[in-house]
Amino acid sequence: MLQRAYPYTRMRRSRSSEWSRRLIAENTLTVNDLVWPIFLIDGEGKTEDIASMPGVQRYTIDKLIPAVEEAIKLGIPAIAPFPYTRDDLRDEKASQADDPNSLVCRMIREVKKNFGSDIGVICDVALDPYTSHGHDGLVINGEVANDQTVDVLVRQALVQAEAGCDILAPSDMMDGRIGAIREALEENGFHNTQIMSYAAKYASKFYGPFRDAIGSKGALKGGSKATYQQDPSNGDESLHEVALDLEEGADAVMVKPGMPYLDVISCVKKEFNVPVFAYQVSGEYAMLKAAIENGWLDDEVLFESLLCFKRAGTDGIFTYLAIEMAKKLSTIR
């Protein structure tokens, strides 16, 4: 370091006015960074509130179309649909997962019919919205069975690609699923369907409100996903997971949850230099909203909660704040 210390160097000099702070800013948040996760329900003309996620709703497909139109007008690049499956359609085999007429597939077709390539559609590949037990895979002899689950995930990926999904995002954490899905996509002519792998996904308590939103919490009955999702104490293991998924053909990788795992995001970006995404998950959203509603935090904390992902090295962020933040960003210079 050649710089001479105080008083020649005063760190506060460049912070002394607003224009100067803007000029030296290392990172910015723009609407191009935001992915909007959306919850779906069957039926028509309905929206439903989710108690543990204030301000977030489930939409029927017809109600969703104007909401997606608004997202496009705001400049949001992509949406990520998650279905709330009717109880009578959940079963041991996750039958809805590879049904071309599932709620998600119908929604993809409707969004693509209305908006074409004006917005990207990123679909989860995992079985938890569809299984009667709430696990992301098939349970065989009391265990979440890896290879049998991968077969179903491949079929799920293909029906979603066929319906027009732009990016498949496997969030199930089975081993070998990225390679199996990539191979099936190539064989079936889906050369340009991208894969964004939830490569580093932790067994986290921060997913609680999401499981309310898709109705899998009751099904899971307190059961743990620790045999397939990662132990929160591990960091190096994430680099191993990411390396494998890239080798198997992932175009982009995800770290999840977000804010408690910024160290992991930063290591992944530095090590691999590939597109890295983060998911500001339901529990992070619920914490922030609850504190703001109680007057314990100022709502400007929301911007900070997303900007920190950029500093850590993410290229994009899944956030339930996407619409709210896109509106705010259009007024911030």
Which of 256, 269, 289, 310 does the annotation list as catalytic?
A: 256
Q: Cα separation of 231 and 226, whole Å? A: 7
The residue at minimum Cβ distance from ligand PBG is 210
225 is catalytic: no
288 binds ligand PBG (CB under 6 A): no
Widest CA span in the chain: 72
46 is catalytic: no
CB of 235 closer than 8 Å to CB of 179: no
53 binds ligand PBG (CB under 6 A): no
Q: Which is nearer to ligand PBG, 136 or 245 (CB)?
A: 136
The DSSP annotation for 129-169 comes to TTBTT--SS-EETTEE-HHHHHHHHHHHHHHHHHHT-SEEE
Q: Cα separation of 299 and 228, whole Å? A: 36
- Minimal distance, residue 28 CB to ligand PBG, in Å: 24
CB of 49 closer than 8 Å to CB of 6: no
Q: Using CB under 6 A, which of 85, 102, 146, 171 touches ligand PBG?
A: 171
Q: Cα separation of 102 and 100, whole Å? A: 6
How many residues interact with ligand PBG (rule CB under 6 A)? 12
Q: Which is nearer to ligand PBG, 193 or 282 (CB)?
A: 282
Pairing of strands 47-49, 57-59: antiparallel
- Minimal distance, residue 211 CB to ligand PBG, in Å: 6
- Minimal distance, residue 181 CB to ligand PBG, in Å: 15
Q: Residues for the chain: how many in total?
A: 333
Neighbours of 4 (CB within 10 A): 8
What is the pattern of x (binds ligand PBG, CB under 6 A) and - over residues 208-227?
--xx-------------x--
Q: Which is nearer to ligand PBG, 171 or 197 (CB)?
A: 171
Q: Cα separation of 290 and 297, whole Å? A: 9
Q: Which is nearer to ligand PBG, 95 or 116 (CB)?
A: 95
Q: How many helices (H) and strands (E) does the chain have?
A: 12, 12
What is the pattern of x (binds ligand PBG, CB under 6 A) and - over residues 123-162?
-x-x-x-------x--------------------------
281 binds ligand PBG (CB under 6 A): yes
- Minimal distance, residue 172 CB to ligand PBG, in Å: 6
CB of 188 closer than 8 Å to CB of 158: yes
Residues 188-207 that bind ligand PBG (CB under 6 A): 207
- Minimal distance, residue 163 CB to ligand PBG, in Å: 19
Region for 189 from its dihedrals, namely left if φ exceeds 0, alpha if ψ lies in -120 to 50, beta otherwise: left
Which of 201, 269, 289, 310 does the annotation list as catalytic?
A: 201
Which tokens in the block code for residue 266? 């930063």
Q: Cα separation of 275 and 324, whole Å? A: 24
> Residue 331 forms beta bridges with which residues?
none
Q: Which is nearer to ligand PBG, 160 or 171 (CB)?
A: 171
**Cα-Cα-Cα-Cα dihedral of 156, 160, 166, 167, to 10°?**
-20
- Minimal distance, residue 47 CB to ligand PBG, in Å: 19
Question: 195, 210, 208, 198: which is closest to 174 by C-alpha?
Answer: 198
Residues 172-191 that bind ligand PBG (CB under 6 A): 172
Residues forming the active site: 201, 256
- In the complex, the residues that contact ligand PBG under the rule CB under 6 A are 124, 126, 128, 136, 171-172, 207, 210-211, 225, 281-282
